[in-house]
Amino acid sequence: DTAVSQTPKYLVTQMGNDKSIKCEQNLGHDTMYWYKQDSKKFLKIMFSYNNKELIINETVPNRFSPKSPDKAHLNLHINSLELGDSAVYFCASSQRASNTEAFFGQGTRLTVV
């Protein structure tokens, strides 16, 4: 049973397209996150949701829109994809939104051509 699962694992698309990445966690956690890992492997938070409410939005372009239909799901929709959006996107979850470890999905490698 995968704790945090995200789909797809790989995504290759053309500039200008719109795409979505889905994430689900079966850990019963209250908080979910999206992180971006760049080509140098640096990880930075993009968004965080606690009980379906957005609590962190870290200076991410408006083309990125997260949606949390319920506590167990957090999806990421990206409009008008650009070359610079190519990265690995990780979904994660934690029991609460404070001072605790997060559990990560396998990542989605997005390549924009």
Binding site for other proteins (CB under 8 A): 4, 31, 33, 35, 40-45, 48, 50, 55-56, 58, 90, 92, 94, 96-107
Please identify, using beta-carbon distances, which residue of 3 and 18 lies nearer to other proteins. 3
Please identify, using beta-carbon distances, which residue of 58 and 82 lies nearer to other proteins. 58
- In angstroms, what is the minimal distance from the CB of 98 to other proteins? 6
d(C-alpha 22, C-alpha 101), whole Å:
21
d(C-alpha 21, C-alpha 68), whole Å:
12
Give the pair of three-digit tokens for residue 36: 């971006």
Please identify, using beta-carbon distances, which residue of 35 and 74 lies nearer to other proteins. 35
Please identify, using beta-carbon distances, which residue of 18 and 38 lies nearer to other proteins. 38
- E strand or H helix that includes residue 35: strand 31-37
**Contact 103/93 with Cβ under 8 angstroms?**
yes
d(C-alpha 68, C-alpha 51), whole Å:
9
- In angstroms, what is the minimal distance from the CB of 48 to other proteins? 5
- In angstroms, what is the minimal distance from the CB of 103 to other proteins? 7
Residues in the chain: 113
